[in-house]
Amino acid sequence: MSSAPFQVMKFGGSSVGSPRRLRQVIELISKHAKQGPLAVVVSAMGDTTDWLIEAAGLATQGDLEGAQTVVARIAHLAKTNAAALAPARSTALAARVDTLLAPLQQLLQGISLTRECSAPSRDRVLSFGELVSATLLAELLTASGTEATFRDARQLLVTDDRFGAARVDVARTRERLQTAVTGWRTSVPVIPGFIAATPDGRTTTLGRNGSDYTAALVAQGIDATEVTVWTDVLGLHTADPDIVTDAYPVAHLTHAEGLELAAVGVRMLHPRTMIPLIESGTSLRIRNTMHPDHPGTLIDAIGSRDGQRPTCIATREELALLGIEVRKLSDQFQLGERVLAALREADVTVWLSAQSSNGQSIAVVIPRPDVLRAQGALENELAQELARHEVEPLAIREPVTLLSLVAEAMGHGVNVAGRFFSALGAVGVNVRASAQGASSRSISCVVDAADTAIAVRTTHAAFNLAHQQVSLFLLGRGTVGGQLLAQLRAQQALLKDKHGIALRVVGITDSRRALFDAAGLPLEGLEERLSRVAPVDAATRTLVPLLDELRRQPVPILVDCTAASGIESLYSEAFRRGIHVVGANKKPLALPWNDREALLAEARRHHVAYHYETTVASSLPVIDTLANLVRTGDAVRLITASLSGSLGFICNELTAGVPLSVAVRTAKERGFTEPDPREDLSGTDVARKALILARELGLPLSLSDVALEPFVPAEAQAGTSVDAFLHGLKSLDADYADRVTRSRKAGTVLRYLARIDPSKVGTGSPVIRVGPVAVEAGQPAADLRGSESFVSFTTTRHSDFPLTVRGAGAGGAVTASGVLADILRISQTLRGR
Nearest CA to 696 out of 779, 774, 596, 777 is that of: 596
Residue 323 φ/ψ, nearest 5 degrees = -120, 135
Q: How many CA atoms lie within 13 A of 673 on its CB side?
A: 22
- Cα-flanking dihedrals φ and ψ of residue 184, to 5°? -100, -5
Q: In the annotation, is 689 catalytic?
A: yes
H or E segment to which residue 304 belongs? none
- 50-88 burial, b at 16+ Cβ within 10 Å, e below that, comes to ebbbbbbbbbbeebbebbbebbeebbebbbebbbebbee
Among 601, 553, 559, 549, smallest CA distance to 580 is for 559
- Are 118 and 179 within 8 A, CB to CB? no
- Residue 572, SS3 per DSSP: helix
**What is the per-residue DSSP string for 211-254?**
HHHHHHHHHHHHT-SEEEEEESSSS-BSS-TTT-TT--B--EEE
The CA-CA-CA angle for residues 831, 623, 470, to 5°, reads 25
Looking from the CA of 750 toward its CB, the CA atoms found within 13 Å total: 23
Identify the helix (H) or strand (E) that includes residue 86: none
The overall longest dimension of the chain from CA atoms, in Å, is 116
The DSSP symbol for 588 reads G
Amino acid at 715: E
Cis upstream peptide for 367 (omega within 30°): no
Q: Supply φ then ψ for residue 794, to 5 degrees.
A: -100, 120
**Using CB atoms within 10 A of its CB, is residue 473 exposed (0-12), middle (13-18) or buried (19+)?**
buried
According to DSSP, the residues that pair with 251 across neighbouring strands are none
Least Cα distance to 158 among 203, 98, 123 occurs for 203
The residue length of the chain stands at 833
Give CA–CA dist 628/328, Å, rounded: 47
Tell me the C-alpha distance between 354 and 364, whole Å: 6
d(CA 370, CA 351): 12
* Identity of the residue numbered 597: E
Amino acid found at 116: E
Half-sphere exposure of 66 (CA within 13 A, CB side): 14
Sign of CA dihedral 593, 599, 602, 608: negative
- On whether the CB atoms of residues 381 and 362 are closer than 8 A, the answer is no
* Residues 551, 577 contacting (CB under 8 angstroms): yes
Say how many C-beta atoms besides its own lie within 10 A of residue 804's C-beta: 15
Q: What are phi and psi of 167, to 5 degrees?
A: -95, 135
Report DSSP letters for 437-465, one per residue.
Answer: -TT-SEEEEEEEGGGHHHHHHHHHHHHH-
d(CA 695, CA 702): 9
- The residue annotated as part of the active site, out of 34, 496, 689, 760, is 689
Backbone angles phi, psi at 715, to 5 degrees: -65, -25
How far apart are alpha carbons 338 and 378 in whole angstroms? 9
Q: Which amino acid is at 367?
A: P
Other Cβ atoms less than 10 A from the Cβ of 566: the count is: 9
∠ CA 149-154-157, nearest 5°, is 105
Q: Which are the catalytic amino acids?
A: 689
